[in-house]
Structure 1
Amino acid sequence: MSTPIVLARTGSAEWSRLWSVRSTWIFAAATAVVVLGFGTIMGYDVSGDPTGPGPDATAWDGGRFTAMFALFGVLAMAVVTSTADHGTGGIVPTLQWTPRRGVLLAARTGVIVATMTLLGVVLVAGASVVVWAFRPSLGLPFGAGVEALAELAFVYAAGALLAVGLGLATRSTAAALVSVIALVLVLPMLLAQLPYEWSVGLSARMPGSGALFLIFGEGPRDDMTTASARLTLGLWAVTSLVAGGLRLMRTDADR
């Protein structure tokens, strides 16, 4: 059987696995409630502000405020879905059905990353619509929306890759979640607060700082750019996936 056919069938099986467990639906529902809830709060606040958020502001700006909450949901879901069958032992029959580990890696990564990216983008777009519904004068310009959502799609895709790689490398939901939280939230903020140039520079090279800059345009260093933030986040994502992929390809599934 040709590789494309096997990949397609494995991808279909991974899609079914993803949505056949309760945790996926719980995480998706919780993330949606948080993101849309904060979108509602943002919309309510701007609707009662007579001065308005500014002449150049749009409802997409309000949606961007919720993007970080969506990112945490995306990261958590990616970790859980990539490590679930390692925790239950289901990885053994999975590899019996799909002995080509490279195919399994490609299918699992592709399905999780695509799903998490789409979920994050749709939720932020929904939050933007909620903000616009409260204050239609802000507008939802098409061009600004495409630009904002495309940037966020990169952030969510890279974040999901990072989470999947850490999940495959650690084969532990708890360890991968702690690692993701440390790299995206704790370490960048902690290093940026230390009164040393080297710590601030190290913070700027963490994936969380890259994601923060791409979402809000702010980072621990003034010399950060969109290109440098993308490069930082992309390198962390690819390195993590390579590490996780090597462990999947070269070690026994139950170790």
Structure 2
Amino acid sequence: MASLTGLQVHGKGKGSGGSGAAGRGRGGLPGAVAAEWTKLWSLRSTWWSLVAAFGLMGLMSAILASSTAANNTNDLTGDDQGVVAVSGVAVGATDLVQFVVVALAILVITGEYATGSIRTTLQWVPPRGRMLAAKAAVVAAVVLPAGVVLAAAGTAVAEPLLGRWGRFAAGEAAGDVLAVGVYLALISVFILGVGAVLRSTAGALTTAFLLLMAVPMLLENSGVTALRHVSSALPGTAGRHFMSGGGDPYPAAVGLLILAAWAAAALALGTVVLRRRDA
């Protein structure tokens, strides 16, 4: 609330001496970011989403690690996966865990439309682009470190379950957990933009599921080369290439650029829609 008050002072305090200067220090984009940060951590859904993400990461990492060890020791040689990177298990678990994280990002914008509080938000921060940029900055600032810790937790869970079938190298693990954090941050910013366009939690979640999992899988399994190229350009596929270190059809850096382009495009479209529609 203090940050919101700062925005009000900024709006009324131009040319009013010392108090106006203080208001200007708390206004603009920094003030909007501070307000969004306060709002995010005041919501119970934020805490529940993070707890759920950690719980699901631990569960999925345990399942994947146990499955790998079992496949390597059963009588079916076709199941053998050999020695795998321990941190790679956490990367694999991210396919499902990401939907809990993007739900948090979606609610940052669609939750306000559902309750009508978006009108108050726009009253305090009238420039639509600034408001969405502030939300994106806060989402990225929360999700990136949370994603790193999530991947580290998944790695810690998988290591004892893999046993001799797990390979742990500090440099490789550090790269994997950082990649997961960056991926989750960018995909959360992307889906925030989608939420700004659709203004619906259900619609944004459905779009996330389609673009991150369902459509890429369908296109990859179609057997049509052109459709596989389309799949490679989707954010979910690009993110997997980035987290897995690249390979066919492009290196990890290209996957990161594609993912960043999707995030930037979604924010730009969200800003345009916000400016053209009433709250």
> Is TM > 0.5 for Structure 1 vs Structure 2?
yes
| 1:81-230 correspondence runs (5 A) | 81-134=108-161, 138=166, 140-216=168-244, 222-230=248-256
Larger Rg: 2
Indicate if the aligned counterparts of 2:242 and 2:253 stay in contact, CA closer than 8 A. no
TM-score normalized by structure 2? 0.78
**Which of 237, 243, 250 is the matching residue for 2:263?**
237
SS at match of 1:19: helix
C-alpha RMSD of the superposition = 2.7
Partner of 1:41: 63
The separation in 1 between residues aligned to 2:66 and 2:236, in whole angstroms, is 29
Residues 119-128 or 61-70, more deviating: 61-70
The separation in 2 between residues aligned to 1:174 and 1:58, in whole angstroms, is 36
Indicate if the aligned counterparts of 1:166 and 1:240 stay in contact, CA closer than 8 A. yes
The separation in 2 between residues aligned to 1:10 and 1:170, in whole angstroms, is 22
Mark the CA change 1:122 to 1:201 in structure 2 (over 3 Å): closer, same or farther.
Answer: same
CA displacement at 1:33 relative to structure 2: 1.2
- Counterpart of 1:108, as a letter, is K
- Counterpart of 2:44, as a letter, is R
Query: Cα deviations across residues 169-202 of structure 1 (Å, max 9, x unaligned)?
Result: 1111111111121111121111222232221111
Greater relative contact order (Cα < 8 A, sep 6+): 1
**Which of 89, 96, 110 is the matching residue for 1:69?**
96
**Which of 6, 13, 18 is the matching residue for 2:40?**
18
- Counterpart of 1:104, as a letter, is M
The separation in 2 between residues aligned to 1:190 and 1:24, in whole angstroms, is 32
TM-score normalized by structure 1? 0.85
CA displacement at 1:248 relative to structure 2: 2.3
The separation in 1 between residues aligned to 2:43 and 2:212, in whole angstroms, is 26
- Counterpart of 2:101, as a letter, is V
Indicate if the aligned counterparts of 1:77 and 1:116 stay in contact, CA closer than 8 A. no
Gaps of 5+ in 1: none
CA displacement at 1:29 relative to structure 2: 2.1
Q: Are residue 249 (structure 1) and residue 275 (structure 2) matched? A: yes
The separation in 2 between residues aligned to 1:4 and 1:50, in whole angstroms, is 63
The percentage of counterpart residues that share the same residue type is 29
- Counterpart of 1:78, as a letter, is A
Query: Cα deviations across residues 127-157 of structure 1 (Å, max 9, x unaligned)?
Result: 1012224457646533222211222222112
CA displacement at 1:36 relative to structure 2: 0.7
